[in-house]
Structure 1
Amino acid sequence: MTTATLTSKGQITIPATVRAALGVDAGDRVEFVEIAAGRYEVIAATRPVTALKGMFGKPRKSVSIETMNAAIARRGASAKNTGK
């Protein structure tokens, strides 16, 4: 098991073997995804957004930018009201 120590500033150094396995280097981003209460998975966020193309298939219907913006605004307003 590989370990790292948290500094007083909340920082850790990812061990070289883990960086190599993830394929990350200085300046790359990693994501922390909660997989269960108190358990997180570290994922390299090194792929470009264009790599997502085609991941979900073709949409069933077209949605306008105005409709998307309205949905985002509604969701943002509801999150603001619930404190999320």
Structure 2
Amino acid sequence: MSTLTVTTKGQVTLRKDVLEHLGVHPGEKIIVSKLPDGRIEVRAARPAGKISDVFGFLRNNDGPSLSIEEMNQIAARGWAGRR
């Protein structure tokens, strides 16, 4: 458990080990949910995608059709928020 200090501006800095635990990197976002009894939940904001977002990656206009393995790799990258 970590103890954090609130600044005069009402800000809190999360320690590096906490950010690593969340899998959050500089520039990424986190979600803070207010829970009962004055508690909060902090979690990494993950990009939400649609299945149609993947279809553009499956096009290969310059050559042969993609293999199943290539399609699986592309789909995995798309759902992980990488393009």
Alignment TM-score, normalising by the size of structure 1: 0.53
Partner of 1:28: 28
Identity %: 40
- Over aligned residue pairs, what C-alpha RMSD do you find? 2.2
- Unaligned runs of 5+ residues in structure 1 are 54-84
Q: Which has the higher contact order (CA 8 A, sep 6+)?
A: 2
Residue 21 of structure 1 and its aligned partner are, at CA, apart by 0.3
Distance 2:26 2:8 in 1: 21
Alignment TM-score, normalising by the size of structure 2: 0.53
Partner of 2:67: none
Task: Report the 3-state secondary structure (helix = DSSP H, G, I; strand = E; otherwise coil) of the residue aligned with 1:48.
Answer: coil
Tell me the matched-pair count: 52
What stretches of structure 1 move > 4 A for 4+ residues in a row?
A: none
Asked if residue 50 in structure 1 is aligned to residue 49 in structure 2, the reply is yes
